[in-house]
Amino acid sequence: MDENTTCTGNECVQEGESFIRIDNLSKTYQKDEKVTVAIEDFDLDIKKGELISIVGPSGCGKTTILRMIAGLLEPTSGSISIAGRPCSGPGPDRGMVFQDFALLPWRSVRRNVELGLEIAGMPKEERKARAEKYLEIVGLQDFADSSINELSGGMKQRVGIARALVNNPDVILMDEPFGALDAQTRNIMQAGLVRILEKTDQTIIFITHSVDEAVFLSDRIVILTKRPAKIKEIVEIPWPRPRDRASPEFTALRKRILEELEKENVLQ
């Protein structure tokens, strides 16, 4: 069963080494006569504890890459491995945070966070304590028993992040996690994510349409070409976090990346 393949290995890889290796990844969608090459020969090495953003023109194949890493989508060719173990099929070692939250509305906040632990068969008291710890990390300890429908968008996504964190995955995959939020909430969430990074040293692959967000958060930004997506450039950002959006180097870098993306869009 591919669903049971686990790629645990948190302990055996030191920070800084190549942790996630994506090799020659390709994806071609075929629907009747229509063939869409979404990804071609995509290679990427990701270090443990790194936050890597992927930006690129709309429809270039970002979601496709992430869903293949998550194991929700079968690659046409190529391979993905974590800590040396190949992954196929989804598993709790790769958490995912969804743009539209994907929370179960019939469960309370805490029971949503507990979901992965419940699936893993953890005893009730233990998972309750663990869920509460992660609710505290995302600042929702006072809402543990609230229903999902009572929460604002930003709070919902914090539940989504806690739900992914609680499993202690090797990597968290985020597909435009703040895309459904207003600008102000978005900034708050970004700052919150930076704090979580300080506390947990979580490896994150982060897809976004906002270059500003990418520069604010990332250790590296992968800029993709238009479809079929190839890597156009990888930008390293060695600056410590939290970062100052108003600083000249921040604005200069943001401007340069935007210009790169602009070229891709103009070509279409």
Partner 1 sequence: MNFKYDNNNKYHRLGKNILVVLASLIIFVELWWFIAELIDSRVLPTPPETFAALKDFLANGYLNISAWDYISSSLVLFLKGFLLAFVVAVPLGLVLGFSKTLNTFVTPIVEVLRPIAPMAWAPIFIYGISYGTGPILVVFIGIFFPLLTNIIFGVKKIDPTLVDAARTLGANKMQVFTKVMAPSSIPYVMNGIKVGLGVGWMCIVAAEMYSPVAIGVGYCISNMCMSGLWDSTFAILIIIAILGILTTSLSEYLQKYISKRMGVE
Ligand X SMILES: Nc1ncnc2c1ncn2[C@@H]1O[C@H](COP(=O)(O)OP(=O)(O)OP(=O)(O)O)[C@@H](O)[C@H]1O
Residues that bind partner 1 (CB under 8 A): 1, 3-4, 70-72, 90-92, 94-96, 98, 100, 102-107, 115-116, 118-120, 147-149, 163, 167, 173
Q: Does 28 bind Mg ion (CB under 5 A)?
A: no
Q: Per CB under 5 A, which region of 32-40, 61-69, 150-158, 178-186 contacts Mg ion?
A: 61-69
Closest CB to Mg ion among residues 63, 88: 63
Which residues bind to ligand X, rule: CB under 6 A?
A: 29, 31, 36, 38, 56, 58-64, 227
Nearer CB in complex with Mg ion: 63/108: 63
| Shortest spacing between CB 165 and ligand X, in angstroms | 23
Query: Under rule CB under 5 A, how many of the chain's residues touch Mg ion?
Result: 1
Tell me how crowded residue 244 is: count the other CB atoms within 10 A of its CB.
Answer: 11
Cα-Cα end-to-end distance for the chain: 42
CB of 155 to partner 1, least distance (A): 15
Q: Cβ–Cβ contacts within 10 Å for residue 83, how many?
A: 20
Which residue, 56 or 116, is less far from ligand X as judged by CB? 56
Residue 58 touches which of Mg ion, partner 1, ligand X, none (Cβ within 5-8 Å per kind): ligand X
Taking the least distance from each CB to partner 1, the nearer of 3 and 244 is: 3
Comparing every residue's Cβ against ligand X, the nearest one is 63
Reference 210, options 96, 53, 66, 69; nearest CA is 53
Q: Rounded to the nearest 5°, which phi and psi values hold at 196?
A: -65, -40
In angstroms, what CA-CA distances link 97 with 79, 101, 125, 183, 206?
22, 7, 25, 19, 9
Q: What is the Cα 100 distance to its own chain's centre? A: 13
Q: Which amino acid is at 150?
A: E
Q: What's the closest the beta carbon of residue 263 comes to ligand X, in angstroms?
A: 17
Which 8-state DSSP code applies to residue 150?
G
Nearer to ligand X, 13 or 38 (CB): 38
- Could you tell which of ligand X, partner 1, Mg ion, none binds residue 157, using a CB distance below 5 to 8 A set by kind? none
Distances (CA, A) of 53 to 89, 176, 236: 23, 10, 11
Question: How far from chain centre, in Å, is Cα 204?
Answer: 5
